[in-house]
Amino acid sequence: MNRWYHHWRKIKSSCVSALCLLCALVVIAPLALVLFNLLQKGASSLDLHFFTQLSKPVGETGGGMANAIVGSATLVGLAGLIGVPVGVLGGIYLSEFGSPRMNWAVRFAADILNGTPSIVWGIVVYALVVLPITGYSAYAAGLALGFIMIPLIIRTTEEMLVLVPNSYREAAFALGIPHWKIVLNIVLKTAGKAIITGVLLAAARVAGETAPLLFTALGNDYWNHNLSQPIEALPHKIFIYASSPFADWNRQAWAGALVLLLFVLALNIAVRLVTRGRAPHLAR
């Protein structure tokens, strides 16, 4: 009896282990499938025209997403103009100057904002900027994406700055260097690469955002020559083309999705490679 019970427990343990392995495989399967399908359908639809041409009118095959790619780059740039200074300086405050209570409040607010659905940012900017001031415009869309970047960057920057050993700061203080110079020249320099990786991750994140663009950028079939006019972005174009009933647009949606995914994954992998060599040094 006792021996059988012992066996039963061992069998149960093995079964659960197998089940857990199965779970892990099921979790990884979608990524593998998405990648496989995208490569399969996207690569065959990808050609030079995709990067160099505007979209063709309905019914004509061919054309590309050149304006959407440039538009996405523009929007991420605009977002960075807002998100990077605010996020990095805010992160510096948290790590170098903040009081515990203020830090708690800022971190809490940043975490709440990070959990806020991106469509909410879209309608907030729509109400604040699009309706009363600019109309649908690249500025409004950049602002919405910038708002999304701020809490992301503030959190990563703080995390990276607290990893800088206090002895660095103490040594600099002992030399009589003003605090702000210590922060800019020593602390920020030590954590520089890590902060840049945080910024890149935030950029990768907003580059793939579509929902906030719906109410701000609107989309545009042509080149945007004026940032106060509607602008096209890659994720938005993909959405429009994927939801359309035209086979050639669907094909290009696959191509666009592949390009977007490769861009986002490439940034993520690059960041991973950089931080792998970097983190142990910082954590020392």
Partner 1 sequence: MNSVAVSGKTGSPAGIGLAPPGKAGDKVFRLLTWLMAMMVLVLLALVGWTLCKGSALSLTRFGWNFFVHSDWDPVNGDFGALTFIYGTFVSSLIALLIALPLSLGTAVYLTELAPGWVRQPAVSMIEMLAAVPSVVLGVWGIFVMVPWLRDGPYPLLLKYFGFLPFLRGPTTGFCILSASVLVAIMILPIITSIAREVFRAVPDSQREAAFALGATRWEVTRLAVLRYSVRGIFGAAMLGLGRALGETMAVMMIIGNSDKTPGSLLSPGNTLASKIANEYAETLNGLPLSALFELGLMLLLVTVVTNILAHLLIGAIGARQPRGA
> Looking at 50, 139, 215, 249, which residue binds partner 1 (CB under 8 A)?
215
User: Minimum distance from CB of 136 to partner 1 (Å)?
Assistant: 9
If one asks whether residue 228 binds partner 1 (CB under 8 A), the answer comes out as no
- Token pair of 41 as six digits: 């359908």
User: Minimum distance from CB of 128 to partner 1 (Å)?
Assistant: 6
Residue number with CB closer to partner 1 (20 or 133): 20
If one asks whether residue 63 binds partner 1 (CB under 8 A), the answer comes out as no
Residues from 125 through 154 that contact partner 1 (CB under 8 A): 127-128, 147, 150-151, 154
DSSP class of 58: T
Closest CA to 154 of 98, 91, 197: 91
User: Minimum distance from CB of 158 to partner 1 (Å)?
Assistant: 9
If one asks whether residue 265 binds partner 1 (CB under 8 A), the answer comes out as yes
- Give, to the nearest 10 degrees, the angle between helix 247-283 and helix 192-207: 160
If one asks whether residue 33 binds partner 1 (CB under 8 A), the answer comes out as yes
Torsion of CA 83, 89, 90, 94, to 10 degrees: 150
User: Minimum distance from CB of 191 to partner 1 (Å)?
Assistant: 15
Instruction: Tally Cβ neighbours within 10 Å of residue 17.
Output: 10
Residue number with CB closer to partner 1 (28 or 58): 28
Torsion of CA 140, 145, 148, 154, to 10 degrees: -110
CA–CA separation, 150 and 146 (whole Å)? 6
Total number of residues that touch partner 1 (CB under 8 A): 93
- What would the x/- binding string for partner 1 be over residues 88 to 127, using CB under 8 A? -xx-xxx-xxx---x--xx-xxxxxx-xxxxxxxxxx--x
If one asks whether residue 49 binds partner 1 (CB under 8 A), the answer comes out as no
If one asks whether residue 273 binds partner 1 (CB under 8 A), the answer comes out as no
241 in Cβ contact with 250 (< 8 Å)? yes
If one asks whether residue 26 binds partner 1 (CB under 8 A), the answer comes out as yes
> What SS3 class is residue 175?
coil
Q: In sequence order, what DSSP letters do the residues of 24-46 get, joined into one string?
A: HHHHHHHHHHHHHHIIIIIHHH-
> Looking at 54, 81, 196, 264, which residue binds partner 1 (CB under 8 A)?
264
Question: Interface with partner 1 by CB under 8 A: which range of 63-71, 159-167, 192-200, 259-267?
Answer: 259-267
137 in Cβ contact with 122 (< 8 Å)? no
